[in-house]
Chain A
Amino acid sequence: MSTFSGINTAYSALVAARAGIDVVGQNVANVNTEGYTRQRLSTSSIGPADAVGLFSGGVSAGLGVSIDGIARLGNVYLDARVRTASATAGYLQVRSEAMRTLEDSLGEPGSGGLSAQLQEFWAAWQDLSNHAGEPTAEALLLAQAGVLTDRIHGLYQAAESQWSEVRSRLGSMIGELNDAAARVADLNARIRKTVATGGSINELLDQRELLTTTIASLTGGTVRDLGDGTVEVLIGGNAIVSGDSARQLRIVGATELAGAAGAPVQVEWSNRPGHPVALDGGSIAGAIAMLAPADGTGTGGAIAEAAAAYDDFAARLADQVNTVHRNGATTGGDTGLDFFEFSAGLPPALGITVKPVDGSGIAAGAAGSGPRDGSIADALAGLGVGPDSLDDSWAAFVSKIGVAARTELQQSGLAQTASAAAGSAKLSSASVSMDEESVSLMTYQIAYQGAARVLSAIDEILDTLINRTGMVGR
């Protein structure tokens, strides 16, 4: 046992206590940093030196404390849970937001909705029936028909612009995804290098964790540890990031609602054109589901389905009104006239227009029943009544959208709750607790004081030995 061995032990304790205070400092400094995972100094005791040589013998104390490293107190299972929950929440949130926008664009139930305009339209026919051949009633009918077609155009345009908006959001989401993938690959490379040189990778891991969570909430991508500090991020079973290389995704397909049926929007690997990526969830999958074309059975993308419903409504309105209107005669005696017509090259909901420009094109009366007859106008007003009327089918459509929106909102709410629960479970385990850090700080401070006391004790002993030995009686 060396004379100075105790000094070294005390020194190692001083260093460890200082290092501990430094780690506490880092934790406290990052108490509000997003994605920061708390760190702990991990130390171990150093045993006594092996007893070899002539004067060995007896027991001796250990040689102090060794700083093994700075541990990152993350929990991979909680991290994985956060990723899964955010993938589901991201998927449902995009859908529920789109459904909310869609149902708000209907303006139902209210005076601005299509149902109210339709009711006014039928009432205008009834008024014309009462005042057949009178310019005021004719002008009122034409004005109301114009308001109705404008409302149908407006609904379709709202669907179109909502589709374009989701489409451009999808573009920025893909951009964010590609950026995140490239940065994960970059971090992978830096982490591998730092591990090889023995440095601390905790902060790099925090950053990478944030990025993989972003990728998961965008695409539902899963993370696989490759063992050398790097991770692989998989989307639909294929790696978007593997080691230090990242692949890019891109969107193909229509950029406007009009082309959606011909060229469905999908995401594919940049280096493998023509092969759509099977997404497991996430907001990109949600956006693609909303952008899907209508499929004729009502199970396609909600926006395109709504647009198809508007088209169907416009076509049925024109068909029903024209069928009756053709039987009628104008005050001038003309028959076989259409009331609604369609502009060529436009979807029905956008192309529907009112054909007559003045009363001479309105056939309010039955042929041969006198010029002031209003029986055809009355029959047209009657189209709004009945079990299979346009009003009823519109109410059913609104109700259907309402049910879909309600379901999506509820599901999204549940997913948000689950995601928040996963997030706070992760935060509970990984975030910095000020109380804990205060206690740690106190502990290390006291440890430092203790080590200093040991040092001064040894110093006094040596002083006694060196300066005061052999001074008896002097």
Chain B
Amino acid sequence: MRITSQAMVRSALQNLQANMNRLSELQDKASSQRAINRPSDDPIATASAIRVKGEQRALDQYQRNIDDGNGWMATVESSLASVTQLMNRVRDLTVQGANDGAMSPDAKEAIAVELESLRDELLAKANSTYQGRTVFAGNSDAGVAFDAVPPYGFSGTASDSVQRRIDANTTVRVDADGSSVFGTGTDPESDEVSVFALIDTIAAELRAGVNVSERIAQIDTRMGAIREQQAVVGARQAQLQHAEETNMDRSVSLEAQRSGIEDVDLARVILDLQVQQNTYQAALAVTSRVLQPTLMDFLR
């Protein structure tokens, strides 16, 4: 076959160009640390990368939801714990007040006053907020769950609940229903009577000299409802904690997937890059030697 210097120059250029191309691809990979820089590099892996990143973003968001839910739950839980203590004290005072044989009206008045201050403390606990939201009044925006004055109106709706999404299919309730914890009734004889109205009734009866031993049972009923809510809140907290752990595991495995799809195998890329650089330099050196001489150099 006939070979001319022009044909040689052309093919040398093409080969150098191809070498440069491969070098630049490898350099792209090595410097960006990404195996896929555009969809055509690996169309299937691109789609997988988009999906995995979507899942990662969703998982991050679930984690934020869980953190927020934990804040709510912690507020609810500490409120309920204080409420239980307060209720214990209310019960002690009521039992004390029920022994009215040996008690002067002054002593009863002292009990009634303490009961009223306990009622105010209970009200404050019932109106606990987390980031400006009342944790016992569902989705209400009234600012308080229970009015501070009789008949202690409840601003929430029993059926409303505050939910936090912890994964694609599950939501967890993070508030507590104020109406079932504290009661909303105004009739002092019913079991549904609100704890505030009940305490008011007990204080009034103490002052009026009526025996309050009947009320102990009502207090017990209310304390039962509070403990029930505490148990429910505890169970939900456990659920959140479990979801957090699951999310953590899932996030690790998703990150491994993403890295497997997107990240370059650094050792291999660097090795390839080194090999390619050597090839390119060799090509340059050979080309410069081959292209120079012609017969002109040797004739005179």
Contacts and interface: CB of A to CB of B under 8 A. Distances in A.
Interface of A: 31-32, 99-100, 103-104, 106, 108-109, 113, 115-116, 118-120, 122-123, 126-127, 129-134, 331, 365, 369-375, 378, 381-382, 384-385, 391-392, 394-396, 398-403, 405-406, 409, 420, 423-424, 427-429, 431-436, 438-439, 442
A395 B64 contact: no
Interface string B64-76: 1100100000000
Contact of A109 (B6, B14, B36): B36
A372 B140 contact: yes
B43 A406 contact: yes
Contact of A130 (B4, B65, B141): B65
B51 A391 contact: yes
User: Closest 4 interchain pairs by CB?
Assistant: A370-B139, A402-B39, A402-B43, A399-B47
Interface of B: 1-7, 10-11, 14, 36, 38-44, 46-47, 49-51, 53-54, 57-58, 60-61, 64-65, 68, 131-133, 138-141, 156-157, 160, 162-165, 168, 171, 262, 294-296, 299
A427 B6 contact: yes
B2 A428 contact: yes
A400 B46 CA distance: 10
A119 B139 contact: no
Nearest to A119: B57
Contacts of A433: 2-5
Contacts of A331: 141
Contacts of B41: 402
A401 B49 CA distance: 15
Contacts of B57: 116, 119-120, 122-123
Contacts of B7: 424, 427-428, 431
B40 A409 contact: yes
A435 B50 contact: no
B50 A108 contact: yes
A126 B163 CA distance: 11
B4 A431 contact: yes
A116 B53 contact: yes
B229 to A, nearest CB: 19
B139 A365 contact: yes
Contacts of A396: 47
A156 B7 CA distance: 45
Nearest to B5: A434
15 contacts: A109-B50, A119-B58, A130-B164, A370-B140, A370-B160, A378-B171, A381-B165, A382-B165, A382-B168, A391-B54, A402-B39, A428-B7, A429-B2, A434-B295, A438-B294
Contact of A385 (B10, B49, B58, B138): B58
Q: Which secondary structure dominates where chain A touches chain B?
A: helix
Given A132-B139, A420-B14, A31 B43 contact: no
A394 to B, nearest CB: 7
Contacts of A103: 38-40
Nearest to B165: A378
Given A378-B171, A401-B39, A427 B50 contact: no
B4 A428 contact: yes
B169 to A, nearest CB: 9
Contact of B46 (A372, A402, A431): A402
A187 to B, nearest CB: 23
A470 to B, nearest CB: 47
A373 B38 CA distance: 42
Contacts of A381: 61, 165
B61 A126 contact: yes
Contacts of A378: 163, 165, 171
Given A113-B50, A134-B132, A331-B141, 10 more contacts: A122-B61, A123-B57, A123-B61, A130-B68, A370-B141, A370-B160, A381-B61, A402-B39, A402-B46, A433-B4
A115 B60 CA distance: 16
A378 B50 CA distance: 22
B60 A123 contact: yes
Given A108-B46, A126-B165, A373 B6 contact: no
Nearest to A428: B7
A405 B133 CA distance: 53
Contacts of A119: 53-54, 57-58
A21 B48 CA distance: 69
A432 to B, nearest CB: 6
Contacts of B53: 109, 115-116, 119
A378 B1 CA distance: 74
Nearest to A38: B4
A106 B42 CA distance: 15
A251 to B, nearest CB: 29
A375 B131 CA distance: 19
A381 B132 CA distance: 24
A427 B10 contact: yes
B141 A133 contact: yes
A292 to B, nearest CB: 21
A434 B7 CA distance: 12
B54 A384 contact: yes
B46 to A, nearest CB: 5
Contacts of B54: 115, 118-119, 384, 391, 395
Contacts of A436: 4
Contact of B156 (A31, A370, A385, A401): A370
Contact of B296 (A32, A371, A398, A438): A438
Nearest to B48: A395
B53 to A, nearest CB: 7
B4 A432 contact: yes
A403 B58 CA distance: 27
